Amino acid sequence: MFSILVQSHNQLSEEVLGVISRIEIVSINLKDVFFGSYIEPLNAISRFTAKKIRRLLKEDLGPKFSESQRRELEDKLEYPSTDSLTDIAARAVSSIAPDLQQHVAELIVRYELESFCDSLYVNAGMQEFMRELKKRNKRCVLLSDIHLSKSHLSYVLNRKAVTCFDAIYAGADLGADKSSEALFRSLLLGENVPPQSVLHIGTDQANDFHVPSRLGLNTVLIADPLLKAKKKVRATYCDMSAANPYWRGMHVIGSTIPPQSGDFYYDYGFSFFGPVFCTYILGALEIVQKYGIRDIYFLAREGKFFQQLFELLAPDFFRDIPRSHYVYLSRRSVALASIHEGLTFEKAIILPFDNPKQQGLYSILQAFGLPWEEFVEKAAYYGLPDIRKPLWGHEDMAILRAFCSDAEFTRRVIELSAPYRGLVEKYLTQEGFFGKAHVAFVDVGWLATIQKLVGDACGKRNDYPHVYGLYMGFREAASHRFDPEKNTLFGLLCDNRVPEPQFDGPFHFLQVFEQAARAFHPTATGFVEDPVTGAITPTFKSESAPDRLIELRQDPVIRELQQGVIDFTLQFRSIIKSTAYTFSDIKPFVGTLMERHLVFPTAEEADRIMNLKHSEDFGTDNVMDWTGNRTRGLRSILKPRTLWRNIRGSYWPAGTAGSAGAHLLQYLLRVRDLLKS
């Protein structure tokens, strides 16, 4: 008989495989050895199942259950570990109407099994270890003393696509756990082998080491301090989330397993953008479900990535998943169609004039796809001899208003935009947009400009649907007026119509979210019609454009970042299914996470994020080069006037302060913003 102590799962192959030539049977603990669990402790899964059942009884069987009955059933789902799930369910329904007992008991078993399956993941190194055992013709058996019977454990293995076990021994079938020796005796009897030909692998010193050793079994004890710490942290988050709903977001994020990639951008995607984007998509899914929306249009370019996240999460929300469409609707590709009745002053000021790189009337004409060369003389007539002169004050706005009111200018705009509007209508028809009661637009935000432009282009059609704009963030602006009969707008994570400064983090650095979620194709600039087939296809910015070349050089970094988000999403999906947390459960903590990263970034975070470069597509072909906003080292702090000048001119003031290590200044900037709000 031998006993081996290893410090981690990854040591199993190296420490065990060389000494098991005489071993016939390898017994492996279900939990903590083969599987890890996102949810700790084990009975927390039952608590989440109870909440799901209670919600189901209220929504689907409400008239047949009083609130006190629902609470009583929920309380009964707390169980001792040696009870089987079937017994737990039977006991829980014993006091409800007899005609409903079987149905509700079956729901309890089903929901518990689903939650348990969703909470599990195969521990690192175990798949390879099992393959090596099979190569050596070892018989592998699964040992479990949790509340699931052999048939339930078979269901779990099938759901997790695990096929490496030859037999299952479940304490729930015996009414015993490992501390009583009965489970190990059952294994020896079932396999009909002497104890010395069996090796048991576990993590509990008392039950997986001392008990089987007394019976003569060989043992391997995994004494992994990191595993114990991880379980303790997860259990702590679980307890905190039960005591205070604010911590539910932390429970989700803290229960994930961040891969050790060594790449800053991957890690940042996993730890920051992953939670933010997943929470946003979770909120969008709930609204789609609430309003029965059947068609979701993901807008270029951030919509491409959001569609990918939607398709990962949506199967858990819908039996019949809504249709998702990626459409090449960008500000550039739709703007010209939106001015088919003329470019009014009110439409012209859709351009963000606070952009320090705006070039006045030139930028406006560029943004709306108008040939600026045609209007140089007209601009000079109205007092703009330099068409690229930035427009800032009231006097410039008066000139712009007069220019836009010019009858000749308006006639020419209508001549240019009317045919293009027809192309946009054909494209939307091709995408199945018209004729529906309601659809959703999904995009990062912020002013819902594309939704505004599409409405201006086609909103007077009788078959124009009601559009739900599901944006990560929304900022209401006087320049964007929406018809409430045809538009509903949501700023899911931040919305300046709601005075909640704890969620305004994204407004401190909008562009970083656009960069993190952007697609890898160039900006869509318009549409063309195939003369043979009549199909409408998008046109794109040239791959050789200077700002596009800079974008292409950034692609590898963005791919790493987005891969981090996707890997987080896969774990997020499992945890959300297990806990049944909702958008409103997770949003409060994610608000804190956004504030921490965008208002109080560390020096390294600020430095790395400012290495990214963001292409501006609406009215300019400039690149936002954030590297110029960095200020490094003690020297910059010792020159406060220079530092303040850099902060005032920065796209991301908190990042500029952070890059200098001026954390007190970050705090003062935050106080200033809160006082302004």
Buried b (16+ CB within 10 A) or exposed e, 298-317: bbbbbbbbbbbbbebbbeeb
**Per-residue pLDDT band at 355 (split at 50, 70, 90):** low
- pLDDT score of 93: 82
Lowest mean pLDDT among 58-62, 370-374, 538-542: 58-62
Tokens encoding 66: 């009083």
Q: For 381-389, what is the mean pLDDT?
A: 92
Buried b (16+ CB within 10 A) or exposed e, 163-198: ebbeebbbbbbbebbbebeebbebbbeebeeebebb
Closest alpha carbon to 255 in 48, 53, 409, 432: 48
Pairing of strands 536-540, 524-529: antiparallel
| pLDDT(81) > 60 | no
Q: For 602-619, what is the mean pLDDT?
A: 81
| pLDDT(138) > 70 | yes
DSSP assignment of 603-634 equals HHHHHHHTT-EEE--SS---EEEGGGG---HH
3-32 pLDDT per residue, tens:
999 999 988 988 899 888 889 999 999 999
- pLDDT score of 635: 61
CA distances from 479 to 31, 303, 349, 468, 483 (A): 58, 24, 6, 19, 13
Share of the chain above pLDDT 90, in %: 64
CA distances from 524 to 214, 300, 638 (A): 72, 7, 46
Q: For 95-119, what is the mean pLDDT?
A: 87
Average pLDDT, the chain: 90
- pLDDT score of 636: 64
- pLDDT score of 33: 95
- pLDDT score of 319: 81
Closest alpha carbon to 445 in 276, 220, 634: 276
Q: For 75-103, what is the mean pLDDT?
A: 76
Of residues 64 and 341, more confidently modeled = 341
| pLDDT(507) > 90 | no
**CA pair distance 494, 249, nearest whole angstrom:** 16
| pLDDT(623) > 90 | no
- pLDDT score of 634: 57
| pLDDT(62) > 60 | no
| Cβ(449)–Cβ(300) below 8 Å | no
Q: For 227-239, what is the mean pLDDT?
A: 93
| Cβ(471)–Cβ(446) below 8 Å | yes
Residue 413, φ and ψ in degrees, nearest 5: -60, -45
Give the pTM: 0.91
| pLDDT(78) > 70 | no
**Per-residue pLDDT band at 79 (split at 50, 70, 90):** low
Supply the DSSP symbol for 8. Answer: S
- Provide CB contacts within 8 A for 446, sequence distance 6+: 471, 473, 474, 475, 506, 507, 510
**CA pair distance 5, 12, nearest whole angstrom:** 10
430-486 pLDDT per residue, tens:
999 999 999 999 999 889 999 999 999 999 999 999 999 999 999 888 778 899 999
**CA pair distance 185, 386, nearest whole angstrom:** 92
| Cβ(532)–Cβ(550) below 8 Å | no
Q: For 485-503, what is the mean pLDDT?
A: 92
Give the highest mean pLDDT range of 76-85, 86-95, 402-411, 472-481: 402-411
- pLDDT score of 352: 64
Give the dihedral sign, CA 103/108/110/111.
positive
Lowest mean pLDDT among 147-156, 490-499, 636-645: 636-645
264-316 pLDDT per residue, tens:
999 999 999 999 999 999 999 999 999 999 999 999 999 999 999 999 999 98
**Burial of 510: CB neighbours in 10 Å, binned 0-12, 13-18, 19+:** buried
